[in-house]
Amino acid sequence: MARIHCLNNISKKGTDQLPAGYELVDDLAQAEGVLVRSAKLHDAEFPPSLLAIARAGAGVNNIPLDRCAEEGIVVFNTPGANANAVKELVLCGMLLGSRGVAEGIAWCRDNADDADIAKSAESAKKAFAGREIMGKKLGVVGLGAIGALVANAAIDLGMDVYGYDPYVSVDAAWRLSKDVHHVTNLDDLCAKCDYITIHVPAMESTKGMIGADQIKAMKSDAVLLNFSRDTLVDNDALVAALNADELGRYVTDFAIPAIMGAKNAIVLPHLGASTAEAEENCAVMAVAEIVDFIENGNIKNSVNFPACDLGPCREVGQRITIVHRNVPGVINGITEAIAAHGHNLANIISKARGDFAYTIIDIDDTVGDDAQEKMSARENVLRVRML
């Protein structure tokens, strides 16, 4: 039914979900679908056969989204599939930022040859004393799948949680504990909280959103956690604050040169989603998205086209899917042409996102063999499929 190319090692638990008739192929040029994790695709040439790319993870900075849209290729990601893994590491990061755990471990290793290490440790441990997180204020910037889980877990740990997200969705709001305080000003959250954790996507609008002003507003013993993307923080301002003891700790999952030598920085090697469970969850979700799109034309969790879902294809008639530019008249022209040839439209859904749009049409019978070619030739139509 379709050929799928894996650009990285995708969990077998996911690829085992491919229905009968699907084939895993080694050559991208043969593929209708691509499953990818971290492989960089910006310089890749996509064959005309390629319909969709599914990223087994949340971030899609390794995929040329605009070019894919221009070529009618739908790009999916798997939001929430690795959320629990990241949440758990964020909680670990808070504890690492609160207690001298990392320093204590390093001391033990450095003094491993001390025959009287137990006694020495009793004297040394005061240098690693920390504080408890219970009762402290946590600010969560971004209340999507991960941010909501972190906020709720922190409530359960006895923290006083403040959330900032001007774009929080209704679904995300339902997931949040009623005890999370809603904050409308980022600077106020930074000034108020003992811990600040960032959970927003990396976009042009969020680049450097934790800048010099926000860092300056933070308490001198505050702990800033970044398990989203390194570009969200002004690293120059951050390092300056850390080295001047104007910020307590920085705990991050991104090992970049600018941070490595900074005082009081705890740096992890991008472990957020590195659990067997998260990799399996992402793979299963990515496969489900790409199969539903190939077989039914439905779009769920795309990052370059709107969500658009008419459910499974009907047992009678035919489904037509159209990738097109978001300009007036495209769908009117196609539906009028369908009706003019005596075909009844049973159902239609059309959604737009920025410069692009997507339409699904169910008709009660089938169109002629040349209909797809004629529709594809229309101005502003990028791709047509008959299912």
Rounded (10°) angle between helices 276-296 and 83-98? 150
Q: Is the pLDDT score of 172 beyond 80?
A: no
Mean pLDDT of the chain: 94
Closest Cα to residue 361, out of 300, 305, 290, 297? 297
pLDDT band at 7 (very low <50, low <70, confident <90, very high): very high
What pLDDT score was predicted for residue 90?
A: 98
What pLDDT score was predicted for residue 238?
A: 97
pLDDT in tens, 280-298: 999 999 999 999 999 999 9
Q: Is the pLDDT score of 4 beyond 90?
A: yes
Percentage of the chain modeled with pLDDT above 70: 100
pLDDT band at 337 (very low <50, low <70, confident <90, very high): confident
What pLDDT score was predicted for residue 2?
A: 93
Q: Are 360 and 321 in contact (CB under 8 A)?
A: yes
Backbone angles phi, psi at 359, to 5 degrees: -135, 140
d(CA 52, CA 61): 16
What pLDDT score was predicted for residue 367?
A: 85
Closest Cα to residue 251, out of 275, 276, 273, 272? 272
CB contact set of 261 (below 8 Å; sequence gap of 6+):
none
d(CA 68, CA 37): 17
Rounded (10°) angle between helices 117-124 and 101-110? 150
Question: What's the Rg (C-alpha) of the chain?
Answer: 25
Q: Is the pLDDT score of 327 beyond 80?
A: yes
Q: Is the pLDDT score of 170 beyond 80?
A: no
pLDDT band at 53 (very low <50, low <70, confident <90, very high): very high
pLDDT in tens, 92-119: 999 999 999 999 999 999 999 999 999 9
pLDDT in tens, 351-375: 999 999 999 999 999 887 778 888 8
The helix/strand/coil state of 50 is: coil
d(CA 361, CA 347): 6
Closest Cα to residue 238, out of 224, 227, 255? 224
Q: Is the pLDDT score of 237 beyond 80?
A: yes
